[in-house]
Structure 1
Amino acid sequence: MTSNLIEPATAREIAQQPALWQDVARHVTERRPTTSAFLDPILSDPRARIILTGAGTSAFIGQVLATHLEHTLGRRVEAIATTDLVAAPCDYLSGDAPTLLVSFARSGDSPESVAAADLADRFLEDPYHLIITCNADGALATARAGKPGSLVLTMPSASNDTGFAMTSSFTCMLLTARLTLGAPVSSAVLDGLVDAASRALEETPTWAGELARRGFDRIVHLGSGALQGMAREAALKMLELTAGQVGTWFDSPLGFRHGPKSVLTDRTLIVVHTSGDPYTRQYDDDIIAELAGHEVVVLSALPDGDDTLRALAYAVPCQIMALEFSLALGLTPDNPFPQGQVTRVVSGVRIHPV
Structure 2
Amino acid sequence: MRGKYTIKEINRIPELLKKGKEYKITYDKDKKYTFIGCGSSYNLGLITTKMLNKNGYKSNVISGGEVIVFDKVPQTDIGIFISRTGESTETVKAVENFKKRKIKTIGITCTADTTLTKVCDETYIFEFANEESVVMTGSFVYILNFLLNGIKKIDIIKDAETVLSKIKEQIDTIDLKKYNHYVFLGYEEEYGISKEGALKIQEMAIQNVEYHEPLEYRHGPKSILNEHTLVVINSKDTKKEAKLAEELKNMEAEVILIGKGKDIDIPYNNGYETPLRMILPQYLGYKKALIEGYDPDQPRNLTKSVILD
Q: TM-score, normalised by structure 1?
A: 0.79
Q: How does 1:289-300 map to 2 (within 5 A)?
A: 289-293=246-250, 294-300=253-259
Deviation of 1:214 after TM superposition, in Å, equals: 3.3
Aligned to 1:134: 110
Aligned to 2:93: 115
The residue type paired with residue 19 of structure 1 is: E
Aligned to 1:222: 185
Aligned to 1:269: 230
Q: Retained in 2: the 8 A contact 1:51–1:101?
A: yes
Confirm whether residue 241 of structure 1 aligns to residue 204 of structure 2.
yes
Say if 1:262 and 1:52 are closer, same or farther in 2 by CA, change over 3 A: same
Unaligned runs of 5+ in 1: 29-34, 145-149
Aligned to 1:153: 124
Say if 1:256 and 1:7 are closer, same or farther in 2 by CA, change over 3 A: closer
The residue type paired with residue 66 of structure 2 is: D
Residue of structure 1 aligned with 2:269, choices 294, 305, 308: 305
Where 1:324 maps in the other structure, the secondary structure is: helix
Aligned residues: 302
Aligned to 2:141: 171
Aligned partners of 1:116 and 1:9: how far apart in 2?
A: 31
Aligned to 2:17: 21
Aligned partners of 2:105 and 2:7: how far apart in 1?
A: 33
Confirm whether residue 285 of structure 1 aligns to residue 242 of structure 2.
yes
Deviation of 1:81 after TM superposition, in Å, equals: 1.6
Aligned partners of 1:101 and 1:304: how far apart in 2?
A: 29
Deviation of 1:94 after TM superposition, in Å, equals: 5.3
Unaligned runs of 5+ in 2: 260-264
Q: Which has the higher helix share?
A: 1
Q: How does 1:49-60 map to 2 (within 5 A)?
A: 49-60=32-43
The residue type paired with residue 296 of structure 1 is: V
Q: Deviations over 1:174-208 (max 9, x none)?
A: 1121123x1x22xxx41xx2223212332323432
Q: CA RMSD in A?
A: 2.1
Aligned partners of 1:78 and 1:175: how far apart in 2?
A: 18
Say if 1:259 and 1:121 are closer, same or farther in 2 by CA, change over 3 A: same
Q: TM-score, normalised by structure 2?
A: 0.90
The residue type paired with residue 295 of structure 2 is: T
Deviation of 1:257 after TM superposition, in Å, equals: 1.8
